[in-house]
A and B are shown apart, each in its own frame.
Chain A
Amino acid sequence: MSERVAVRKTYKLFIGGKFPRSESGRSYLVQSTNVSLASRKDARDAVVAARAAVKGWAGATAYNRGQILYRVAEMLEGRREQFVALGVPGDEVDAAVDRWVWYAGWADKLPQVYGGANPVAGPYFNLSAPEPTGVVAVVAPEAPALLGLVGVIAPAIVTGNTVVVAASPTQPLAAVTLAEVLATSDLPGGVVNILTGRIAETAPTLAAHLDVNALDLTGVADAELAAELEVRAAENLKRVLRPAPADHDWTADPGLTRMTRLLETKTVWHPKGV
């Protein structure tokens, strides 16, 4: 009896909760696998999907967002072997699961830690609360393939932002596999969109896009490209997170800044009286 012929997986983009091929019909080869090579048009489509998802996701209750992030952790735990098969070390997968759990808990706590009542000198109720900035474009770090990706996506979406992620060009398989996890975690379509391909091709479009509110340059290793992207981002005054240092430790406690830099503080005043 002949050996069973394996059914291979097609690795595609993740846009609006669906897995389309690049509209350009192009692919590139990674680990003997054809991976979609996203075009500038794909980047724009992803922004449209991300924008469409903002209202529902930002408007969801913090409890609901927390539960969905926790659900991502559950799904990732169950797919551990898939990532190991792609070459992601088992302890990195574990750390990535734990990172989702950690961020899940922040959904309904950060507004208390980061906002609150302000004791103004007058008869006014005055409250500051954080809100998501909107659509965030992210250049994911080159490595670690999974933990680095989770480390940029989770802090952006836990507060209600939606993201378009330019995945690491050399690590797209882990990124697409994570997209499959997200697609089965009750995460509404469009909250996370993942583009595989060349950073130099998609990132400038995302950086200049007028319907993107923030730009996370964490994974841009080329200082010149990072500066160019930051210049493009100035056109509509995007909030910019500058590149992480090459030796950034993704296993360390991430702190709050990855979340807070993608938040707006809204302060509401109302007079007190009878």
Chain B
Amino acid sequence: MTFEYAPAPESRSVVDLRPSYGLFVDGEFVDPAGGGSFTSVNPASEEVLAEVAEAGAQDVDRAVRAARTAYEKVWGPMPGRDRAKYLFRIARIIQERSRELAVLESLDNGKPIRESRDVDLPLVAAHFFYYAGWADKLPYAGFGPDPKPLGVAAQVIPWNFPLLMLAWKIAPALATGNTVVLKPAETTPLTALLFAEICQQAELPAGVVNIVTGAGDTGRALVEHPGVDKVAFTGSTEVGRAIARSVAGTRKKVTLELGGKAANIVYDDAPIDQAVEGIVNGIFFNQGHVCCAGSRLLVQENVADEVLESLKRRMARLRVGDPLDKNTDVGAINSAAQLARIRELADAGSAEGAQRWSPPCELPERGFWFAPTIFTGVTQAHRIAREEIFGPVLSVLTFRTPAEAVEKANNTPYGLSAGIWTDKGSRILWTADRLRAGVVWANTFNKFDPTSPFGGYKESGYGREGGRHGLEGYLDV
């Protein structure tokens, strides 16, 4: 039985986009020295949303200087109590303008409004609210009686959760007394620029937050700038490696949150319906553009058929389409480049002998789309079992014993997250103990909270974001 839904689009009139945006430096929007620009498009329609300035080395230098001055003159000396109040203000403004931010996020990123409205935005506001409270309590955080900030933080964030990643970077940095220069991803710069307006509305002192837009060259100029004391990066392991090399021999403190290839382990005693919901949430949430996505399903052999049948039935109910439609489950792929990457890896999956399946699914003609896909018959040597696809593609492997599940789960250079589905408590704890991953979701998946540390083992990076642990990366300890 198929239910027909009438379209239920969220209005985009709440968003008032300017035709073009400058860089946000020292409290003002300024033109880039080189005059370069690029456009940000809606990936669901390929419509140009706005023209955005491209920051060159000179602009980055200007932003770092502004951040340095603000650190030395204003933000560093400011009592934690007052820094807290600015962060609380920002949290409140985000709550007040949450619909506008959610719609803009879905427009620029392609994610379903249901997710930007119910997941991204509440978490963004909560993150600022959480770290605001730390600003005047740092002596109690367990890093000594008087932990000091580092100075100027260079922060480079990805396109999958644009505003949430901004919050994860800026909130702890500011709470601990650092100032920041942040570069959003080139395909999703718009909510960061709206955040710049929020900083103005909050009357945050000039130079405390600077936002420079651009692509890889801008990011490199920022990370390698000799005037920064801290580098925080979320993105691919490949770029993370390059950053780790570039900061070698410097005093810069680094935190890296990189790729993943999470195993989602389903034992034979798991409640199948709940597990299937968890599998779907694990890999199709945010189009699978999630570093901690449960992209490898490890299912116990004796229930594999039952789980797969149920999973396919569930996938056939996923609604793929207009991100602004409130019924949409899976939105648009963020960019043409990412779509090409997903296609290449999916083709490699077929070429290497895995069996591909997608539900019948009509995709819009314009924009970047990829139907939810699973591969069965995957071996550990297949590229789709080893490489991060960063799209709605699930690789299914099987196991017979718990020891084999753990062995396969850990057989990856990554170590960001993992999932466990079983009704047996002792088996959850036994498995969780053995998984080399920074976040383990048991009988749930893709849950996030500002109080909960997030970050990886091995080549998924180092340092933690969130919680008390998240302060450490921004303190001189």
Residues of A participating in the B interface, judged by any CB pair closer than 8 Å: 113-114, 118-122, 124, 126, 128, 133, 213, 223-224, 226-228, 230-231, 233-237, 239, 242, 255, 257, 260, 264-271
Contacts and interface: CB of A to CB of B under 8 A. Distances in A.
B451 A120 contact: yes
Given A236-B413, A267-B439, 9 more contacts: A120-B452, A122-B447, A128-B467, A237-B258, A266-B435, A266-B457, A269-B440, A269-B444, A271-B443
B241 A234 contact: yes
B453 A113 contact: no
B62 interface: no
B256 A124 contact: no
A213 B458 contact: yes
A121 B449 contact: yes
A114 B142 CA distance: 8
A30 B351 CA distance: 61
Contacts of B443: 270-271
Contacts of B435: 266
B50 interface: no
B340 interface: no
A213 to B, nearest CB: 7
A145 B251 CA distance: 27
Given A121-B449, A124-B447, A269 B458 contact: no
11 contacts: A119-B451, A122-B447, A230-B244, A234-B244, A234-B245, A236-B458, A237-B237, A255-B144, A265-B438, A269-B447, A271-B444
Contact of B464 (A120, A239, A265, A271): A265
B148 to A, nearest CB: 14
Contacts of A260: 472
Interface of A is mostly: mixed
Interface of B: 126, 142, 144, 237, 240-242, 244-245, 248-249, 251, 256, 258, 413, 415, 428, 432, 435, 437-444, 447, 449, 451-455, 457-459, 461-462, 464, 467, 469, 472, 477
Contacts, number: 104
A264 B457 contact: yes
B241 A235 contact: yes
A133 B144 CA distance: 23
B453 A269 contact: no
A231 B245 contact: yes
Contacts of B444: 124, 269-271
A99 B294 CA distance: 44
A271 B441 CA distance: 9
Contact of B440 (A233, A267, A271): A267
B438 A266 contact: yes
Contacts of B472: 260
Contacts of B241: 234-235, 237
A223 B249 contact: yes
Contacts of A224: 249
Contact of A128 (B126, B452, B462): B452
Contacts of B441: 268-269
A265 B466 CA distance: 12
Contact of A120 (B242, B437, B449): B449
Given A122-B447, A265-B464, A271-B444, A233 B457 contact: no
Nearest to A117: B451
Contacts of A265: 438, 453, 455, 464, 469
Nearest to A242: B251
Nearest to B256: A237
Contacts of A228: 248
A268 B426 CA distance: 14
Nearest to B460: A237
A249 to B, nearest CB: 16
